[in-house]
């Protein structure tokens, strides 16, 4: 950035759906930022709870209502209305620390070639922030990160993301096909046109009180498989240049996770399919093949597989305690 655009307008995008208990906190955290200028755009996705809350902030916050179409469409709707050179994403149940944007622009001034900046974040539980239990939060890659993002899937908190508006529009914004994991799909596409920057300092709070339902976890796993398949088919030459062992390992892991979640949900046919898929990506891993075959043997095999899982869990707990 040059001195003339040292403090460009940031458009903060907040999609909301039946989260009135949290929305005010999210908006207040934006209006309390030490950085300016900022505009806030709230898109209510089909529910009828947010208008009164938004109107209480006056002209500082723009309210848009749309028929229920999902968070991806709501974010795109806000981006269409945004006037800022930069778009900042914030989920309605999350919130920022006061100098979140200021710190991100300090990084941008030091590295003006960046087109996307994100950061570490706290989990918010029982009314207080907790450090994330992830040892990799200080080693997240920066620069051109497509390979690491696809093969290693490092974490990007949606509510920490700051992206150049022109690049967001260049890649087409969020893909409304994905009701879940739409953020990962966008990160992968953005990584092909933008250098990424990362701050290890937590700059946001992620609401982590409610555990996700198993059905939601299953759909997320399947979406991850779909996104990876789409990327490989769209970029065959690029993927051939990457370490093939890591690529096969990534597909093995994502199918194995999918299989285990479907198995826990008693969707045995889908579990079997993904166990076999995991094995085809890494034939040396015979456990996936064995689990898939056990899923073919009816209730006897299912009981055996459940017993194996429970035994592995007990062994893991004992190893952690020793």
pLDDT of residue 17: 95
pLDDT of residue 6: 78
Residues 6 or more apart in contact with residue 129 via CB below 8 angstroms = 122, 123, 202, 205
Confidence of residue 313 (pLDDT cuts 50, 70, 90): low
Q: Is 141 helix (H, G, I), strand (E, B) or coil?
A: coil
81-109: pLDDT as tens digits:
999 999 999 999 999 999 999 999 999 99
- Residues 112-126: what's their mean pLDDT? 94
Q: What is the dihedral of CA 144, 148, 150, 154, to 10 degrees?
A: -110
Confidence of residue 315 (pLDDT cuts 50, 70, 90): low
Q: What is the pTM of this model?
A: 0.90
Residues in the chain: 322
Percent of the chain with pLDDT over 70: 93
- Residues 143-158: what's their mean pLDDT? 94
β-partners of residue 64 are 43
β-partners of residue 116 are 163, 196
Residue 14 per-residue DSSP state: E
CB atoms within 10 A of CB 217: 19
pLDDT of residue 314: 59
Name the one residue in this structure whose structure tokens are 């089909």: 46
- Residues 123-145: what's their mean pLDDT? 84
197-210: pLDDT as tens digits:
999 999 999 987 66
Mean per-residue pLDDT over the chain, rounded: 91
For residue 50, is pLDDT > 70? yes
Confidence of residue 303 (pLDDT cuts 50, 70, 90): confident
267-297: pLDDT as tens digits:
999 999 999 999 999 999 999 999 899 888 8
- Strands in 95-96's sheet, in edge-to-edge order, are 95-96, 204-207, 122-125, 128-130
pLDDT of residue 322: 33
């Amino acid at each position: 950035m040059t001195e003339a655009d040292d403090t460009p307008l940031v458009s903060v995008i907040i999609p909301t759906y039946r989260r009135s208990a949290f929305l005010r906190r999210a908006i207040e955290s934006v209006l309390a930022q030490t950085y300016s200028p900022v505009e806030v755009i709230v898109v209510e996705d089909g529910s009828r709870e947010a208008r009164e809350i938004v109107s209480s902030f006056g002209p500082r916050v723009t309210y848009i209502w749309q028929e229920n179409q999902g968070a991806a469409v709501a974010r795109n709707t806000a981006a269409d209305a945004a006037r800022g050179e930069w778009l900042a994403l914030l989920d309605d149940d999350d919130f920022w620390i006061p100098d979140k944007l200021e710190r991100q622009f300090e990084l941008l001034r030091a590295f003006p070639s960046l087109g996307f900046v994100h950061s570490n974040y706290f989990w918010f539980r029982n009314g207080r922030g907790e450090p994330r239990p992830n040892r990799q939060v200080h080693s997240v890659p920066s620069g051109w990160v497509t390979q690491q993002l696809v093969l290693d899937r490092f974490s990007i908190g949606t509510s920490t993301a700051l992206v150049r508006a022109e690049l967001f529009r260049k890649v087409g914004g969020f893909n409304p096909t994905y009701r879940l994991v739409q953020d990962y799909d966008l990160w992968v596409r953005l990584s092909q046109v933008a250098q990424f920057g990362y701050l290890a300092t937590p700059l946001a709070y992620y609401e982590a009180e409610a555990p996700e339902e198993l059905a939601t976890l299953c759909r997320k796993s399947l979406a991850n498989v779909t996104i990876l398949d789409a990327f490989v088919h769209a970029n065959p030459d690029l993927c051939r240049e990457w370490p093939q062992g890591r690529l096969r390992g990534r597909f093995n892991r994502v199918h194995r996770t999918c299989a285990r979640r479907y198995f826990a949900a008693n969707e045995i046919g889908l579990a079997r399919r993904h166990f076999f898929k995991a094995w085809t990506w890494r034939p040396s891993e015979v456990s996936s093949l064995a689990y898939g075959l056990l899923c073919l043997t009816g209730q006897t095999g299912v009981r055996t597989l459940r017993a194996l899982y429970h035994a592995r869990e007990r062994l893991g707990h004992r190893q952690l305690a020793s």
